[in-house]
Structure 1
Amino acid sequence: MAIQRPPLFLPKLVTALRAGYGWSDLRRDAVAGLTVAIVALPLAMALAIASGTTPEKGLLTAVVAGFLISALGGSRFQIGGPTGAFIPVVYLIISRHGYDGLLLATLMASAMLVLAGLLRLGALLRYMPQPLITGFTAGIAVIIFTSQLRELLGLQVERMPGEFLPVLATLYAHLGSFNPWALGLALACIGLIVGLRRIAPTAPGFLVAVLAASVLVAAFGLPVETIGSRFGEIPLAMPSLSLPEVSWARLIELLPSAFTIAFLAGVESLLSAVVADGMAGGRHRSNTELIAQGIANAGSALVGGLPATGAIARTATNVRAGGRTPVSGMLHALFILLFMLLLADWMRYVPLPALAGVLVVVAWNMSEHRHFRHTLSAPWGDRLVLLLTFVLTVLVDLTIAIEVGMVVAAFVFMHRMSATVEIGAGVRVSDDDLLDPRGDPLPSQRDALPPGVEVFQVSGPLFFAAANRLDEVLDQFFKPPRVFILRTRLVPFIDASGVHALAKLAERCRRQGTVLILSGLQPQPREVLAQMGLQADGHWLHFAEGFDAARTLAETLAGQPLAAEVAGV
C-alpha cells in the first residue's frame, strides 16, 4: 500500500480547528494574544523608526503580516511581525532605492518564499551552519545598537547613513549636540526593563518602560524628541492597496536585496518555529510556513508595511502565556489594531530615547553573547566562519556575509572530509546511514537489553548538515526510556553544530528523566566535546568506551531510581 504524502499547503489553523476548538481554547488564546500584543506594540514602533520609516508602518506590519502568518502558517504558536534582523537591511534599501524600492524588494522576496515552499525547500534551511547563524545574528545586533546611538545620545542629525563606518563618523561629527536628558531617559528605561525581568518576569517590561518614560516627558516637559515632534500624528485609517513601479532594470537592481529579505524571513521564521516546538512539543510544517511567510510579506508590502517574519521572542511569549492554537497569533494582530485605533492620539507622546532603550535590550538579546563566546572554543574552521560572517555583516553587507560564510563553511567541511579520508575512516555519509536503529547493534544485542533501555547508532560525521536530525531521535519512542544509549563508534568527527545538537539531546533527555550514554567516542569527537565543555556529569550523561561497557552501565542504571526520584523531585 502506497504511503500518502501530506498536503503541501495545510495551515496548522486548519488542523487545530479540525481537532476541536472550544471556549476554553478561545479564552487561553485570547489571554496569550493580548499578552503578546502588549509586548509587540512598542516593539513594532521602535523597529519601524530604527529601520528609517514611520512608526505606523511597523504597526501595520504587525497587524497585516502578523495575522496572515498565524492564519496560514505551519506552526501552532508562531507570532509574526517586524523583527530586529530586518533593521539594517530595510534601512539600506530605503537609503539606496527609496521606500518604493523596499516595497518592490519585499514583493520579490515574497515570491521567492512561496516558490521555496512549493519546491519543498523548507528542510534545506535547517542545514545552515550554527556558527554562520550566530555570526550574522551577532553582527545585526551590533548594527542595531549602533543605529540607536543617535537617539540614546540625543544627537541632532538630519539623516543617518546606512553603512556602519559612516554611521560612526557621522555620530562623532555631531557629538556637540549631545543631550544628557535623552541618555538618562534611555538608561532609565533599560534599567527598568532589566529590573522587571528579574523581579517580575511576566510583566510587560517594554510597555511599562515606554509608558513610564512617556508620562515623565509629558508631565515634566523633558527636552527630548518624541514620536509627535518628529513624525506628527499617527494616522488612524488603514492605507489603500498600492503597487510600486516595476521595470526589468529595477527588478535586477533589487534582486540581491530581495534575496536577503527572503533568506532572513525564511531562516528566522523556521528557527522561531523550532523554538516553539521545543517549548510546547509538536512539529511545525516548514514548507507551509515558507508559503505563509511569502503571502504575509506580500500583504504587508501592498498596504505599505515592512518585511516580516516569525519573531522568536514574541513566539516564546505566546507559548509561555498559554497560547494553544494559531488563533492566539491572529488575536494578537487584532489587539494591536485595536490599540492603534484607541491610543493613536497618545502615541505621539512616546519619547524616542525610550524606544531606543527598548531596541538596545533587543540587540543585547539578539547578540547571543554566551553562544558567541562558546563557539569561539570550537575547532578553527567554525571560529573562522563565525568571525568572518560577523565582521562582514557589520562592515560590508549582510548578503555578502551570508554568501561568503556559506562558501567558507563548505570549504571547511571539505577540508575536514579530506582529513577524515586520510586517516582511513571509510564511513559512508549518506542521510540514510545517519540514524539507524536496525543496523548495529544486531537484533540479538537489542533483545538482550533490559526493559527501559533503548539504543541508536550514529554513522558518519556529525556536522552542521546532519546535526539537526539528532533532534528526531527521541520522537521514535512512544514512552521515554529510562536509559538511552547513543553509539558514536562510527562518528569520525564532530563540529560546533554537532556539539550543539548533542547538548540539546542531553538536555531533552534530562528534562524527560532519561539517562544518556554516549558510547565509543573517537578521539576527535571526544576532544571537541571536552574543548566545548560537554562532559559526563555522572548522573544524566555518561561516556562509555564501547557498547559492551554501555550495556553493562545501562543495566545498572535501569535498575536504580533516577537522580530526580532520589531527590524527591
Structure 2
Amino acid sequence: MKWSGRFNGYSKEAFRKDIVAGCIVGIVAIPLGMAFAIASGVKPEYGLYTTIIAGILISLLGGSRFQIGGPTGAFIPILLAIVMQYGYENLLIAGFLGGIILVLMGVFKLGALIKFIPRPVTIGFTAGIAVTIFSGQIASFLGLQNMERHEYFYDSMKEIVLRLPSLNIYSILIASICLAALIVTPRVLPKVPGSLVGIILSTLVAVWLFPDKVATIGSAYGAIPASLPNIHGLDLSWDRITAMIQPALVIALLGSIESLLSAVVADGMGGSRHNSNRELIGQGIANIVTPFFGGIPATGAIARTATNIKNGAVSPMSGIIHGFFVLLIVILFAPYASAIPLASMAPILMMVAWNMSERKAFAALVKARTSDSIVLVLTFLLTVFTTLTIAVEVGLIVAVLLFIKRMSEMLTVRKVLPDFSSSKAKVSADIVSAEHDCPQCSIFTVEGPLFFGASQSFAAFSDWIESGHQLKSVILRMRNVPFMDTTGEAHLMDLIKRLQHLGVTVHVTSLRAQPRRLLTKTGGLQLIGEEHLFEHTGEAINAALSNLNKDHCLGCRHFAFRECAELCGVNPREAAYPSPTAKPASRMTRTVLKD
C-alpha cells in the first residue's frame, strides 16, 4: 500500500470528517496518555508527549489507514518493571532500541510471523496484563499513603494489605464518582468520552468540596509544562545498549503484536487492508524518535483506533490531527491538569483493564479443557506472578511441544488389503485378519506428517515390519503424507535399507510433491529406485506379486489377492474371500503407530 494511495480522491468533505474524528480521539487520548504514564512509573506529561509525537508519526508512516498510536495499557507492566529496575533514562534507551528492532522486523518482512503466535498465548498474557493493571490501581483508588512500588504481583498485593489502615475516604469517593461517570456516560451520552466526563466531574468535586484532601497530579509530580520539551540526546554507550537489549526485545515483541492486532481490528471495522511490514516500520520510526522528546514506548491502540473509525475517519489524516489536537490542548490547558486527583485516574485504568481482559475468550478456552487451556492458564499465571518475557517464552514452548505431540498422534500406519466386496476393489484395513493376510506381500497406508515428532512411533513400526520372515515385498501408500522433514526421511530410509538388506523389495505409491522434493535432494529416491515408484496401488501390487516365492503360495489359504487362487492351484470359485466385517488379527495389524 503506497502512502499516496491512502489519500486517493481525498476531498474537503473527507478532511472535515477526519478533523471531527481526530479531535474526538484526541479528547479520549489525553486522560489515557496521562494515566498510562503514571501507571508506568513516569510523569504524566511523558504520556502526553508520546501521544503527540508517536501518534503523528504512526499515522503518517504506518501501514494502516485508521491506526491510532500512542501509549497503551499493555505496556504498563513492562515499562513499570524497566523504570523500577533500570530508571527512566534507560527506559528511553530501551524504547529507542525497540524502535530499531521494529524497523528491522518490517524491513525483513517479519510482520506475517506475528500471526503464528498461538491465540491461547496472546489471550493469556493479555488477561494477565489486565490483572496487573487493575491490581496496580487499587492503592490509588483507596488513597493509600506511603505506598512503595514493587515489580511483582505478590509483593504489590502484600504492600496494599500492609497500607490498608491509611486508606482515604475522600479518595474512595472521588474514584467512585469517576467510575460512575465511566459506566453511565456511554449509556446516556454515547458520543461523549466517559473518561473525560469522569475526570472533569471528579476533579471539580475534589477542588470545590475536598480541597487538599486527596493527592493530585500536581502534588505528586508537579505542574505539567504547557509545551513540548526540548530535544535531548540519549546516552547510547555500549554498556547501556547491552544492558537494555533484552527489555528492548520485549518492547518490540509486544509492540508488534499489539499494533498488528489493532490493525486487523481496523481492517474489519473500516473495510481496509493494512500492510503489516510497513506498519512495523512506522511503529519503529515513531519509537525511535519519541524518546528524544522524553516519550515512552508506543504502539497501536485498539480502543482509540475503533473510536477513530466509529466517528467517521476517512484517512490517516485523522490520526495526525489527533496528535496536533493533543498538542494544542497541552499548550492551552496543561496547568489545569495539575488539579486532577490521582484517584480519578485509577478507575479509568481499571476500566481499560476490564475491557482488555479478553474474559469471554478466556472463559471459553478454559471450558474447552483442551491442551490450549493449559497453555492459556500457564501463560496467564506466569504473566501475573513473574514477567511477560517468561510468560511468553514458556507459553510458546509449551504450545509448540503440545502441538508436536498432537501432530505425532496424527501419524498412523494401517495394514490394508484389497476389499473385493467393493466394486473397484479399494484397499481396506477392516478385512485384514489372522486368516486373511498375505505372508509375502504387505501393504501399508501411511497417514499424517512424517516428521521428528513422530520418529519414535515410526521406529516402532519399522521394528515390527521386519518380523515377517517370509516377506518378499512391502508397499507403502504415501498419498496421505503431506509433509516430511529430514528426521522423518532418515527413519523412512533406515526402514527401506533394513528391508532391502533382508531381501525385501519396497514399493512406494502416490508420493506427494513435498516429500518427493526432499527425497530427491537427499538421494532417497535413488535408494528406492524409480522402478519401484508408482502412482497407483494396483500397479505396485502387480509388481509385488511378480516377485513372490511361488513355492510358498502352494497350500496358502489366505487369498489376500485375486491372483492368489491361481498361485495356490485352487479353483477361483473355491477361494474364500473375507467379508468387510471380518475380525482383525490383532491391534498391530490394524493400527501400528498408536504406541
User: Shared fold by TM > 0.5?
Assistant: yes
Q: Which of 299, 314, 317 is equivalent to 1:324?
A: 314
**1: CA distance, partners of 2:369 / 2:109:** 33
**2: CA distance, partners of 1:460 / 1:382:** 24
Q: Deviations over 1:270-290 (max 9, x none)?
A: 000000100111210000000
Q: Where does structure 2 lack aligned partners over 5 or more consecutive residues?
A: 415-445, 452-480, 484-595
- The question of 1:173 aligning with 2:162 is answered yes
**1: CA distance, partners of 2:374 / 2:242:** 32
**1: CA distance, partners of 2:146 / 2:42:** 15
**2: CA distance, partners of 1:255 / 1:373:** 35
Match of 2:16 in 1: 27
Q: Which of 140, 149, 160 is equivalent to 2:138?
A: 149
Deviates more, 1:167-176 or 1:31-40: 167-176
Match of 2:178 in 1: 189
**1: CA distance, partners of 2:146 / 2:385:** 21
Change (3 A) 1:227 1:410: same
Q: Which of 30, 43, 52 is equivalent to 2:41?
A: 52
Question: 1:214·1:350 contact (CA, 8 Å) conserved in 2?
Answer: yes
Question: 1:186·1:357 contact (CA, 8 Å) conserved in 2?
Answer: yes
What letter matches 2:21 in structure 1? A
Question: 2:47·2:296 contact (CA, 8 Å) conserved in 1?
Answer: yes
Structure 1 residue 171: Cα displacement:
1.4
Q: SS of 1:376's equivalent?
A: helix
- The question of 1:241 aligning with 2:262 is answered no
Q: Deviations over 1:406-439 (max 9, x none)?
A: 1111111101101111377835699xxxxxxxxx
Q: SS of 1:377's equivalent?
A: helix
What letter matches 1:51 in structure 2? S
TM-score of the two chains, using structure 2 as the length reference: 0.69
Match of 2:64 in 1: 75
Question: 1:256·1:399 contact (CA, 8 Å) conserved in 2?
Answer: no
Change (3 A) 1:166 1:460: farther
Q: SS of 2:150's equivalent?
A: coil
Count of residues paired in the alignment: 422
Question: 2:106·2:278 contact (CA, 8 Å) conserved in 1?
Answer: yes
Q: SS of 1:243's equivalent?
A: coil
> Superposition pairs for residues 27-426 of structure 1, below 5 Å?
27-222=16-211, 223-422=213-412, 426=447
Q: Deviations over 1:458-511 (max 9, x none)?
A: x989xxxxxxxxxxxxxxxxxxxxxxxxxxxxxxxxxxxxxxxxxxxxxxxxxx
Q: SS of 2:447's equivalent?
A: coil
Deviates more, 1:193-202 or 1:143-152: 193-202
Q: SS of 2:149's equivalent?
A: coil
Q: SS of 2:230's equivalent?
A: coil
Bigger-Rg structure (1/2): 2
Structure 1 residue 232: Cα displacement:
1.6
**1: CA distance, partners of 2:182 / 2:25:** 16
Match of 2:567 in 1: none
What letter matches 1:191 in structure 2? A
Structure 1 residue 202: Cα displacement:
2.1
What letter matches 1:72 in structure 2? L
Structure 1 residue 378: Cα displacement:
2.8
**1: CA distance, partners of 2:70 / 2:208:** 32
Structure 1 residue 160: Cα displacement:
1.1
Structure 1 residue 237: Cα displacement:
2.8
What letter matches 1:359 in structure 2? L
Match of 2:454 in 1: none
Change (3 A) 1:158 1:423: same
C-alpha RMSD of matched pairs (Å): 1.9
**1: CA distance, partners of 2:6 / 2:376:** 39
**2: CA distance, partners of 1:158 / 1:210:** 23
What letter matches 1:81 in structure 2? G
TM-score of the two chains, using structure 1 as the length reference: 0.72
Q: Percent identity?
A: 45
Q: Where does structure 1 lack aligned partners over 5 or more consecutive residues?
A: 1-5, 431-458, 462-569
Q: Deviations over 1:16-75 (max 9, x none)?
A: 22x121100100000000110111111001110111111100000000000000000000
Question: 1:150·1:157 contact (CA, 8 Å) conserved in 2?
Answer: no
What letter matches 1:127 in structure 2? F
**1: CA distance, partners of 2:448 / 2:180:** 54
Question: 1:75·1:289 contact (CA, 8 Å) conserved in 2?
Answer: yes
> Superposition pairs for residues 11-22 of structure 1, below 5 Å?
11=3, 14-17=4-7, 19-22=8-11
Question: 1:69·1:78 contact (CA, 8 Å) conserved in 2?
Answer: yes
Question: 1:115·1:291 contact (CA, 8 Å) conserved in 2?
Answer: yes
Structure 1 residue 215: Cα displacement:
0.8
Structure 1 residue 229: Cα displacement:
1.4
**1: CA distance, partners of 2:381 / 2:210:** 42
What letter matches 1:302 in structure 2? F
Q: Deviations over 1:147-172 (max 9, x none)?
A: 11110110112531121111112112
Q: Deviations over 1:81-127 (max 9, x none)?
A: 00001111111101111111101111111110000000000011011
